Amino acid sequence: MFKSTGNNFGGPEITFKDYQGEHEIVLNAVFDYDSTNEAYRNARQLEIYVPALRFNKSAVAGCFFAAEGQYGPIGTTVKTWIKNKNTIVIEKLTAWDNLTNHRIYICTMYGLRGFRGIAFERLKAASINLQMSDSIGYPRDQVYYVTPDWVFLNFSLGSPSIGANDKICFLSNYNDFPDDIDALLPYVSGYFDYRNPGTNVHPVRFKDSQILITDLPKQMGSGTGWDSLFYAFIVRDRDNTPDVPGRCLWQAKDLIYDRYVRIRSVRMELSPFPAVVYAEMESSLSNKTTMTYEVEAVPDKMAGFKAFFLGTYTGGKCLTIQLVELQLVRENGKDKFTTSSGTGLKILIFQLFDTSVAMPVNA
């Protein structure tokens, strides 16, 4: 999570929830702004200034815009992209400048510009079966991806029953949604206002494994033929609490050694010395026995250590056990994390879930 450092349209300070990988950045934010102020009128495009992002430029993505019309919020999708590490750009549309309460919903994945292997190629769609408290339309076109850091959800609902209007409706999943999501998101309900372009963009809350849809517009009645749409990348609230009270937790994603070698994820919990360390880790293919990564965001309380673990290694058609040495060295203000094959094998690829005794290093 981070906060914006400024903008060029007279808007407020904006709080972002974020996941930042090597090739994709997922951002969630909702903010309102005044279309009558001078800074907005002078802006060619909306620019939000932020602390340094993971990469410098993204491909063009999309977010949602809404303004208050006679029958509720109305709007459309707008372009957005990462201009540089410190600037997020949103397309400026003036068709609704005569309306009030302008709002932007960012529930967007920004892909690294020029990169073609985005995360979906490594994912399988999760099972989804929408359950609803009232008949708010027949669900279809349901697509659902879940990762440890973010969720993608897309579905369409047909016209609701008359009894669903002005009610508080719940959407849940038969197999449950993650319970670590709390986000205000856009729901495109389908009705329109003939006085203004666009369609209704209705705010909904995703919380406690349910999507809460309040006060469905009366204009979205049964038999209108106006289908709705929900489409969002949603950042999960990662749990930074150690599983065992009193331990010190460090976790990281996408530690890069070279083009082909990386640690996809690592999570470690260290107790005070004499210490026990628990590690979860997944590495990629390497032809080296030892690799060292410079790492960040290691808690100050975590001391340097080394320990041996057992990990699973798949080679050919066989699943084998591999001895792995992990070492964290903290010297001169820099933190270095080293993985070594304890058996001398040069192919260091493994998944690791183990607890071991930790020996102090420069403690």
Q: What is the pLDDT of residue 134?
A: 65
Task: Measure the N-to-C terminal CA separation of the chain; round to a whole number of Å.
Answer: 31
| Tokens found for residue 48 | 């939000």
For residue 188, pLDDT over 50 is answered with yes
pLDDT, one tens digit per residue, over 155-164 is: 887 766 655 5
Average pLDDT, integer, range 176-194: 83
Q: What is the pLDDT of residue 329?
A: 92
Q: What is the pLDDT of residue 219?
A: 58
Q: What is the pLDDT of residue 286?
A: 64
Our CA angle for 190, 194, 198, nearest 5°, is 50
For residue 256, pLDDT over 60 is answered with yes
Q: Let me know: does 171 contact 213? Beta carbons within 8 Å.
A: yes
Q: Let me know: does 343 contact 360? Beta carbons within 8 Å.
A: no
153 sits in which H/E element: strand 150-157
Measured between alpha carbons, how far is 248 from 300 in angstroms, rounded to an integer? 9
For residue 3, pLDDT over 80 is answered with yes
Q: What is the pLDDT of residue 223?
A: 47
Mean pLDDT of the chain: 82
Q: Cα dihedral sign for 294, 298, 304, 305? A: negative
pLDDT, one tens digit per residue, over 91-107 is: 999 989 988 889 999 99
Q: What radius of gyration, in Å, describes the C-alpha atoms of the chain? A: 24
Average pLDDT, integer, range 21-25: 86
Q: Let me know: does 249 contact 240? Beta carbons within 8 Å.
A: yes
Q: What is the pLDDT of residue 165?
A: 60
Domains of the chain listed by start with CATH number: 2-235 (no CATH), 248-360 (2.60.90)
Looking at per-residue pLDDT, the higher value among 38 and 217 belongs to 38
Query: What 3-state DSSP class applies to 351?
Result: strand
Q: Let me know: does 28 contact 1? Beta carbons within 8 Å.
A: no
